[in-house]
Chains A and B, each alone.
Chain A
Amino acid sequence: MDSRDREELAVFCAREHRRLVGTLTLHCGDPGVAAELAQEALARACQHWGSVREMNAPGAWVHRVAINLSSSYYRRRKAERSATERFGGRRQLGEEASDAVEPAEVLAVRRAVAALPSRQRTALVLRYYSDLSVEQTAEAMGCRPGTVKSLTSQAMAGLRASGLADLEETHA
């Protein structure tokens, strides 16, 4: 990687890092895990930077990688928790969310988002937090734009039903 590549990569990482951590925090519910997964997603971008930099939307690509990592993390944690419970129900280290000292309203939003079905959560976060377009979100999720609209609409309904105040959809 030459110095120009590295400069471009630094700009890309600096630009995407904050959004990635936020996206993953909402998606997996744990800021500590989110930071680690964001780092991993950026590592993948570094590994494939030659082709990533040529993409129309490299930011959307790295978000797709990040969401996939988060989904894998979810599956793995579920299996580990299931086994641990069967062996005696001891809580795993790190299961306590690392956001325990954050304000109640912040945790309330995270819990409400975490309670959404996976695809609804992904669509909502990519669309309204990561600011991806409907088309970019659809590409990241491997579905049609109409499906993204439907999923985000259902997610909004889910958030309202969870007790959050009436929400205004500003990016429709």
Chain B
Amino acid sequence: MPDISDLLKAGAGDPLAPPDLDRAVRRGAQRTRNRLVAQAAVGSSVVVVAAVAGLSLAGGGTSKAQVGPGSGLGQTRLLPDDSLPTSGPSADPRLQPVAAADPSQLPDGFNFVLVRSVQPDGSLVVDKVTRTTDVTAQGKCAQAQDGSYSPADVFSFCWSNQNAKLRTVPLASGVTTVPFQPDGGPREDLSRDDLGRLLTSGNDLLKTEVYVVAVSHNTVESIALAGNV
């Protein structure tokens, strides 16, 4: 009879490459710096904006694209760009086009974009954009700078953290009105529970993919699929 340990050792293979200690130390140090910066800049969006630069996407590499005008009422899309990756999940044209008709509507930083449906031409109908106001989550955004967290990790944290607040930002005219803004004001904080109710309240189309869009100076820097809601 084979020994289970021997069997597992055979299945694990032989990791020949030695650990890259220098790289591990660099990543650890960078992460600590980011956390300290985030803690020092409580309430400041500077941290999140800084995290945009050099963002590494999970599975798709960093993508950059120019934002073009919307293709119609409530429809938003990204125009193709030569710098988009040519392979990986992000290379799928049906996964790329997520943005706002008017990029100035997207605040700098990480935006959680809830996508309602996919159009035949590949553009996505966006319901709304949220951003986190939670300090720890902002720290995680900052840590995404060196690839230590992916946008999906950031979103998972915000989604699972009872204390995380997501701030809703209205999109261009024609986009579905977001509840919890009774006065139609430009912004309102949503708790996780509020957002959960919003996403499950009577409209199955709202229960769909969530993307993280990083914006800097009104330019969409990167897009990543964060997960399903």
Contacts and interface: CB of A to CB of B under 8 A. Distances in A.
Interface of B: 1-5, 7-13, 15, 17-21, 23-25, 27-29, 31-32, 58-59, 87-89, 91-92, 94-95, 118, 148, 150, 152-153, 156, 209, 225-228
A14 B19 contact: yes
Main secondary structure of the interface of A (DSSP, over half): helix
Contacts of A90: 92
Contact of B28 (A14, A47, A80, A113): A47
5 contacts: A44-B28, A75-B156, A92-B89, A129-B12, A168-B2
Contact of B89 (A18, A49, A93): A93
Contacts of B29: 46-47
Nearest to A69: B153
A49 to B, nearest CB: 8
B142 to A, nearest CB: 14
Nearest to A24: B12
Contacts of A47: 27-29, 31-32
Contact of A22 (B15, B18, B21, B156): B15
A43 B149 CA distance: 12
B12 A23 contact: yes
A31 B13 contact: yes
Interface stretch (A53-61, A98-106, A136-144): A98-106
